């Protein structure tokens, strides 16, 4: 086990973290199911954060608390402001100044203010995110992508980069950590492959794995199931649950209501930039504000197939790789035909 390994030993465990999920959910049962409700032990607290584009308020959140140790789902219709909200919290966008001269936007993570903090400082504070469209560096290997996610690498400093003995031991520790995480995400056999050659589901896994290289206290996942073979849902769900169980709070955006009900401890609902509901997965879906704002006239329709939660992961990976291979063969065949045509013309 490396120093930054997310599977913490008993000595490294946070005494303030609810590793017992039943105990956590019992605490949440006492929380009022109202927008902006207070939590017993919030890891993230947000106040008065607003972002407008033209005359439209993309985000207008008065107050939100995220319970430490929970898997919290942030749901809402397209255009509700969920990704913009993520961007604001993680330093990828800047909130608007109050128009009436009132209190400024403010949010705290583990008691530390992150208001108007740059993205890299947010990550260093222990709050990392993934993106709806994966940001894997396609021209680099899977292992190189992983190594980029580690912080405080001695060899990154120009003055020390040419003196190998100063950073080789740290490099070994980081590489060992990366190999352990890749093995955990079933990507170990892909470590020397280019990231651009991975399937959509594997790129999602890689982005999540790379985020763990910084040993975050909270990970924010923006639509982790988007563009993924439905049969891979079980694996991704398992990894998300494992993150929570080993000490990482999870806040995620998702449209798949079956996934939300299956994995979440708490659900927050956004519509038109505002929080319209909060509550336990089993009850918040029945909230009339959720039915009106999110599900609308289609609330009687089935929103997904629960069977995808129990599909075989290895079979799904093989299926994705087979489809990727067919696509590659088609591209090569087309390239060959173009070359032959150009040869005939010459």
Cα distance between residue 64 and residue 82, in whole Å? 13
Check whether 196 has a pLDDT greater than 70: yes
Q: Is residue 339 part of a domain?
A: no
Tell me the per-residue pLDDT of 111-122, one tens digit each, with 9 for 90 and over.
Answer: 999 997 899 899
Judge whether 73 and 102 are in contact, CB under 8 Å.
Answer: no
Classify residue 174: in a domain, yes or no.
no
Between 202 and 5, name the one with better pLDDT.
Answer: 202
DSSP reduced 3-state for 200: helix
Check which CATH number belongs to the domain holding 284 and give it.
3.40.50.300
* DSSP code at position 98: P
Structural domains counted in the chain: 1
For residue 15, what are the domain limits?
Answer: 10-141+198-311
Residue 195: other Cβ atoms inside 10 A: 24
Strand, helix or coil for residue 65: strand
Whose structure tokens read 């959509």?
200
Query: What mean pLDDT value characterizes the chain?
Result: 82
Asked whether residue 102 is assigned to any structural domain, the reply reads yes
Nearest Cα residue to 14 out of 138, 110, 143, 92: 110
Token digits of residue 234: 């079980």
Q: Which parts of 90-199 fold into alpha helices (H)?
A: 119-124, 142-148, 158-161, 168-184
Is the residue at 132 inside a domain? yes
In a domain, 41, yes or no: yes
In a domain, 134, yes or no: yes
Q: Calculate mean pLDDT across residues 157-162.
A: 61
Query: Residues 32-45: pLDDT tens digits?
Result: 999 999 999 999 99
Question: For residue 198, what pLDDT is reported?
Answer: 85
Residue 7 — very low, low, confident or very high, per pLDDT cuts 50/70/90? low
Q: Is residue 21 part of a domain?
A: yes
With vertex at residue 87, the alpha carbon angle to CA 86 and CA 93, rounded to the nearest 5 degrees, is: 150
pLDDT of amino acid 321: 61
Backbone angles phi, psi at 30, to 5 degrees: -90, -5
Strand partners, 325: none
* pLDDT at 291 (0 to 100): 78
In a domain, residue 329? The reply is no
CB atoms within 10 A of CB 49: 21
With tokens 């975050």, the residue in question is 216
């Amino acid at each position: 086990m490396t120093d930054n390994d997310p599977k913490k030993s008993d000595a490294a465990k946070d005494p303030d973290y609810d590793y017992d999920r039943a105990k956590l959910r019992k605490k949440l049962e006492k929380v009022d199911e109202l927008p902006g409700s207070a939590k017993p032990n919030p890891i993230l607290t947000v106040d008065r954060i607003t972002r407008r584009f033209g005359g439209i308020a993309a985000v207008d959140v008065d107050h939100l608390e995220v319970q430490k140790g929970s898997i919290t789902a942030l749901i809402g219709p397209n255009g509700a402001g969920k990704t913009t909200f993520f961007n604001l919290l993680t330093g990828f966008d800047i909130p608007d100044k109050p128009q009436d001269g009132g209190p400024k936007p403010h949010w705290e993570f583990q008691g530390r203010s992150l208001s108007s903090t740059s993205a890299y400082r947010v990550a260093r504070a222990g709050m990392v995110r993934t993106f709806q469209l994966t940001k894997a560096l396609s021209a680099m290997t899977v292992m190189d992508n992983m190594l980029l996610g580690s912080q405080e690498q001695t060899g990154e400093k120009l003055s020390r980069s040419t003196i190998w003995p100063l950073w080789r031991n740290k490099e070994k520790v980081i590489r060992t950590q990366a190999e352990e995480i890749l093995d955990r995400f079933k990507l170990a056999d892909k470590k020397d492959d280019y990231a651009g050659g991975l399937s959509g589901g594997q790129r999602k896994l890689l982005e999540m794995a790379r985020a763990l290289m910084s040993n975050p206290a909270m990970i924010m996942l923006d639509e982790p199931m988007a563009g993924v073979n439905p049969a891979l849902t079980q694996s991704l769900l398992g990894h998300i649950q494992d993150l929570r169980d080993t000490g990482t709070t999870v806040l995620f955006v998702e449209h798949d209501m079956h996934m939300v009900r299956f994995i979440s401890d708490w659900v927050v609902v956004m519509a038109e930039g505002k929080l319209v509901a909060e509550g336990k997965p089993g009850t918040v879906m029945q909230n009339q504000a959720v039915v009106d704002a999110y599900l609308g006239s289609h609330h009687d329709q089935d929103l997904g197939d629960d069977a995808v939660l129990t599909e075989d992961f290895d079979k799904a990976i093989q299926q994705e790789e087979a489809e990727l291979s067919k696509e590659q063969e088609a591209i090569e065949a087309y390239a060959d035909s173009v070359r032959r045509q150009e040869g005939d013309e010459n």
